[in-house]
Amino acid sequence: MSERLQPGDVAPAFTLPDADGNEVSLSDHKGRKVIVYFYPAALTPGCTKQACDFTDNLDLLADAGYDVIGISPDSPEKLGKFREKESLKVTLLADPEKTVLDAYGAFGEKKNYGKTYLGVIRSTIVVDEEGKVAHAFYNVRATGHVAKIIKDLGI
């Protein structure tokens, strides 16, 4: 379990496959602000709500200079089904080894109904044009999170 990122930290570089199996790197977005959000599993109610909220606000975020990338431990195939079923427009990346989740502090100990286990911590990291962390939100709620980010970023 790695440390949580703080504003000012250099965002860990990554290259992961998207829903079509194409490699996508954080460096592909250099010069743009990037919202990188981590979610537990495609095709689940909370994650669907969050992905649909990002898709619904994608034009607003893009006009403000933000790209959006969602990362989960799902396979590219499952991400493809998720994208098609929900008509998602956000870039979805697969991290089955959880290396990027771990590097961003989005994988670790969780508690649910009194049990402690390892899992994905729903998190959103905003990376600036220079590749540094501008904002780091951990343990966020799926519902209402996108509206809160838009408000927090002053969009």
Catalytic sites, residue numbers? 47
Instruction: Identify which of 67, 78, 58, 72 has the alpha carbon closest to the alpha carbon of residue 26.
Output: 67
Instruction: Identify which of 151, 128, 153, 155 has the alpha carbon closest to the alpha carbon of residue 36.
Output: 128
What are 39's strand-pairing partners?
Answer: none
- C-alpha to C-alpha distances, 152 to 1, 61, 119, nearest whole angstrom: 27, 12, 26
Residue pair 135/104 in contact by the 8 Å Cβ criterion: no
Q: Is 149 exposed, middle or buried (0-12, 13-18, 19+ CB in 10 A)?
A: buried
The count of C-alpha atoms lying within 13 angstroms of the C-alpha of 94, restricted to the half-sphere facing its C-beta, is 18
